[in-house]
Chain A
Amino acid sequence: MNARGSAPTTSAALVLAGRSAAPGLAAGRIARIAGPKVAARAPSAAGDPAAEAARLAAAVAAALAALEALAAAAEGDAADILAFQVAMLADDALTEGAFAAVASGAPAETGWSAALDAEIEGYAAADDEYFRARAADLADIRDRVLSRLSGAEDAPPPAGAILVGDDLTPSKFLAADWSAGGGIVLAAGSPASHVAMLARARGVPMVVGVGDVGAAADGAEALLDGDAGTLTLSPGDAEQAAFHARRDAAAVAGAAAETLRFRPAVTADGEPVRVHVNLADPEELAGLDPAQCDGVGLVRTEFLFHAGRGLPDEAAQLAVYRRILAWAAGRPVTFRTLDAGGDKPIPGLTIDGESNPFLGLRGLRLSLAYPDVFRTQLRALCRAAVDGHARVMLPMVTVPAELAAAAVMLDSVVADLAAENLPHRRPPLGIMVEVPAAALAAESFAADFYSIGSNDLTQYTMAAARDVGAVAHLCDAGSPAVLRLVAATVEAAAARGVEVSLCGDAAADPALVPLLLGAGLRSLSVAPVAVARTKAAIAGFSRHPPP
């Protein structure tokens, strides 16, 4: 533990350095997290039915208590899903089969698994998609109790803690209470991971790629700098004071930015800039006021294709698209068609084992290879477009022929819907500019709009993968080469008289915003958490900076 005997001015501080995955500052105690896999203890061999029944009852009660705590803290759809799990686990009808098996001599693990697997099978075999999808909830319930039985208990970390470990699962992130601050430091991990996305969206500072985290003892005080990518262990008084001064200053700046949240963004010269939000999951809409943005600049539709439910049908997609358009209340919503592949595999759709998936069958390339999946999505989007200002954006477009092929499919979908007498509208069809080839020849694409994807454009321009820590220093969206491609795209849009925007992490980085505005952009799209600070960065920009 940290030595307390040292003089106040000298410091025995140890600094672990990694990469920033989510900005922000946090001071708190370290909570060590176990790796994602904890070996299950072998079931007790004794087989005393009374003891096994007691173990099972205790595990069920503990899992139920943990679920209830999670449900109480959750909001929106997450709260409903957890409330459902609570109701199921609290029902004796779910556990009676397991207790019967235990009474006749089965170990608690075996009895519980068999009973739940039978229940899960009933759902997995359902004709109805809604009921099939519940199999995942039952499996979650099964595993929660099993992990209690094996002793690998996942008690949520204390609120305000700095979680330190090898890696962190999204479910553990969601299980933690971030209302009192805290942060994440990982030995491995990547800024492109799902957890990093969640952390940025929730404003939780996060550092990845620290390497050895063995020095970070459970319960010790530490300072986490998500901007610089460092974790300071055993901080001395001087470090504490400096850190808290910085945090206070950041809080003041944040509060100042907060006053701009609901105002239209303008530069110091009075030029208006549109600020949109990126959505990775419709759950983000809960508690988000659309008045703070000019629309949704990017809906990542990949969330529809996860959660182990197979490919979503047209009705399921239509319902979600309508919900987002209703939220936007007439503001434009740009839906990106499925952007799978690369670092976003989807079982049964993307190709496993590509030697270089970032250069493989991903984005629009994949959609054109699976026209049935693509058509279903386009049909749902055309039908949803009746309800609001929907726009469709194609990811990973490289040559004009790809856009043309997608446009032909969109026309044919529109013709089908007309023949079926289904209400529909052909939405504007634009492209993401994230491949240098598309940026350099942007004018040759017959796109209704351009949206620059700064993350991929940077990694392809700099030949530095987003998920390789060793080349992170090259992955700089502010490099002159990337900015030239941004400016070229802006010029092409102006020449063709269409809109151009930028979605990607660069737009949410206050240091990069002036560079992007300097390259001519007047429309940005950022994570909801970054809206206020992006508007503040815009307010500080002038074309004519004082000498």
Chain B
Amino acid sequence: MPDGSAPDGSRIRPEGAPLAGAPALASGGQSIEDSMPTEDTLSGAATLANQAGLHARPAVKLTQLAKSFASRTEFAVAPDGPWIDAKSPVKVMRVKAAKGETLHFRASGPDAEAALAALLALVDAKFDEE
């Protein structure tokens, strides 16, 4: 993305763009072993509005959706992490995110933009539960 806004989702922005509280990720060259993003990391946030929070059924839906993308997808309940692998139901459930909490997402990889948009849409749609 040339500037700070994605074409179809104004909440999606490149990580490292001036966003309060979000730590800028170093771009490339670092020796973090597995999936250090080589492309831009995109981030966005959505409020968890479904009654039961991020419990079993939503957690399964979220991780299944995340796994359908090649990109690394993570989320956190605070803008500066700790970041949770959105593809791991066990780790997602450990967060025990409750209704009303803000879920901060970040994605990096070939389909990061689509992944981020899809994850935010799922949370906005209350996981199609209500």
Name, among B60, B88, B90, the residue most crowded by chain A CB atoms within 10 Å (CB to CB).
B90
Specify which of A81, A91, A122, A123 is in contact with B89 (CB 8 Å cutoff): A91
Query: Are A93 and B91 neighbours in the complex by a CB distance under 8 Å?
Result: yes
Q: A87-B89, A88-B89 are in contact. Are A130 and B94 (CB under 8 A)?
A: no
Residues of chain B with a CB closer than 8 A to A131's CB: 53, 55, 93, 96
Per-residue CB proximity of B71-88 to A under 8 Å, as 1/0?
Answer: 000000000000001001
A1 shortest CB reach to chain B, Å: 46
Contacts of A126 in B (CB 8 A): 96
| Range for the number of chain B residues in contact with chain A | 10 to 19
Interface residues of A in 121-155 (CB under 8 A from B): 122-123, 126, 128, 130-131, 134, 137
Please, which residue of chain B has its CB at the minimum distance from the CB of A84?
B56
**By the criterion CB–CB under 8 Å, are A122 and B94 in contact?**
yes
With CB as the reference atom, state the residue of chain A lying closest to B56: A84
**A94 in contact (CB, < 8 A):** yes
Contact present for A91 and B88 (CB under 8 Å): yes
In which size bucket is the chain A interface? Answer: 10 to 19
Tell me whether B88 and A137 are in contact (CB under 8 A).
Answer: no
B52 touches A91 (CB 8 A): no
A80 at interface, CB cutoff 8 A: yes
Contact, CB under 8 Å: A80 / B90: no
Q: Are B63 and A87 in contact (CB under 8 A)?
A: yes
| Contact of B22 with A by CB under 8 A | no
B 42-69 binary contact with A (CB < 8 Å = 1; else 0): 0000000000110111011001100000
Residues A137 and B53 in contact in the complex (CB < 8 Å), given A91-B88, A94-B90, A128-B98: no
Which of A84, A92, A93, A123 has a CB less than 8 Å from the CB of B57? A84
Counting CB contacts under 8 A, is A83 at the interface?
yes
B88 and A93 contact, CB distance less than 8 A? yes
Complex contact B56–A134 (CB within 8 A):
yes
Question: In the complex the two chains form, what is the Cα distance from A486 to B57 in whole Å?
Answer: 47
Residues in A with CB closer than 8 Å to B96 are 126, 128, 131
Q: Specify the chain A residue showing the minimal Cβ separation from B57.
A: A80
List residues of B (80-118) whose CB comes within 8 Å of A's CBs: 85, 88-91, 93-94, 96, 98
Alpha-carbon gap, A119 to B94, bound state (A): 8
Given A88-B93, A91-B90, answer yes or no on A128-B53 (Cβ-Cβ < 8 Å).
yes
* Given contact pairs A122-B94, A131-B96, A87 touches B60 in the complex (Cβ within 8 A): yes
Interface string of A66-108 (1 = CB under 8 A from B): 0000000000000011011001100111100000000000000
Q: CA A335 – CA B8 in complex, angstroms?
A: 49
- Bound CA span A404–B60, Å: 48
Majority SS of interface residues in chain B?
Answer: helix
**Nearest B residue (CB) for A85:** B56
Question: What chain A residues lie within 8 Å of B89 (beta carbons)?
Answer: 84, 87-88, 91
Docked CA distance A126–B63 (Å): 21
Within 392-413 of A, Cβ neighbours of B (below 8 Å) are at none
**In the complex the two chains form, is B53's CB within 8 Å of A130's CB?**
yes
Residues of chain A within 8 A (CB-CB) of B57 are 80, 84
- Chain A residue nearest in CB terms to B52: A130
Chain B residues whose CB sits within 8 angstroms of the CB of A128 once the complex forms? 52-53, 55, 96, 98
In the bound complex, residues from chain A placing their C-beta under 8 Å from that of B88 are 91-93
Cβ A81 vs Cβ B91 within 8 A:
no
Contacting residues, chain A, for B60 (C-beta < 8 A): 80, 83-84, 87
* Beta-carbon contact of B56 and A93 below 8 Å: no
Report how far A92 CA is from B55 CA in the complex, Å.
19
In the assembly, what is the distance between CA of A80 and CA of B91, in Å? 19
B-chain residues with CB within 8 Å of residue A134 when the two chains form the complex:
55-56, 93
A-side contacts of B56, CB under 8 Å: 80-81, 84, 130, 134, 137
Report Cα–Cα, A128/B94, bound state, in Å.
12
User: Which residues does chain A contribute within 8 Å of B59, judged by CB atoms?
Assistant: 84, 87
Q: How far is the CA of A441 from the CA of B55 in the complex (A)?
A: 50
Against A, the Cβ 8 Å flags (1 = close, 0 = not) of B1-26 are 00000000000000000000000000
Docked complex Cα distance between A87 and B61 (Å): 10
Given the complex, which residues of B lie within 8 Å of A80, measured CB to CB? 56-57, 60
B98 neighbours in A (Cβ, 8 Å): 128
Chain B nearest CB, measured from A313 CB (Å): 13
Q: How far does the alpha carbon of A436 sit from the alpha carbon of B74 in the complex, in Å? A: 64
A94 CA to B89 CA, complexed, in Å: 9
1/0 per residue, CB under 8 A from B, across A380-402: the answer is 00000000000000000000000
Q: A136 → chain B, closest Cβ, in Å?
A: 11
| Cα distance A84–B56 in the bound complex, in angstroms | 6
Residue of B nearest to A137 (CB): B56
Give residues of chain B (28-43) contacting chain A, Cβ–Cβ below 8 Å: none
Residue from B52, B55, B85, B90 within 8 A of A88 (CB atoms): B90
A426 to chain B, nearest CB (A): 27
Contact mask A55-70 → B, CB, 8 Å, 1/0? 0000000000000000
- Complex Cα distance, B91 from A87, in Å, reads 11
Given contacts A91-B89, A131-B93, 19 further A-B pairs with CB under 8 A are A80-B56, A81-B56, A84-B60, A87-B59, A87-B60, A87-B89, A88-B89, A92-B88, A94-B90, A119-B90, A123-B93, A126-B96, A128-B98, A130-B52, A130-B53, A131-B53, A131-B96, A134-B55, A134-B56
Q: List 28 A-B contacts (CB under 8 A).
A: A80-B56, A80-B57, A80-B60, A84-B56, A84-B59, A84-B60, A84-B89, A87-B60, A87-B89, A88-B89, A88-B90, A91-B88, A91-B90, A91-B91, A93-B90, A94-B90, A119-B90, A122-B94, A126-B96, A128-B52, A128-B53, A128-B55, A128-B98, A130-B53, A130-B55, A130-B56, A131-B53, A134-B93
The list of the 8 closest CB pairs from A to B, nearest first, reads A93-B90, A84-B56, A87-B89, A130-B55, A91-B90, A130-B52, A94-B90, A93-B88
Residue ranges of A at the interface with B (Cβ–Cβ < 8 Å): 80-81, 83-84, 87-88, 91-94, 119, 122-123, 126, 128, 130-131, 134, 137
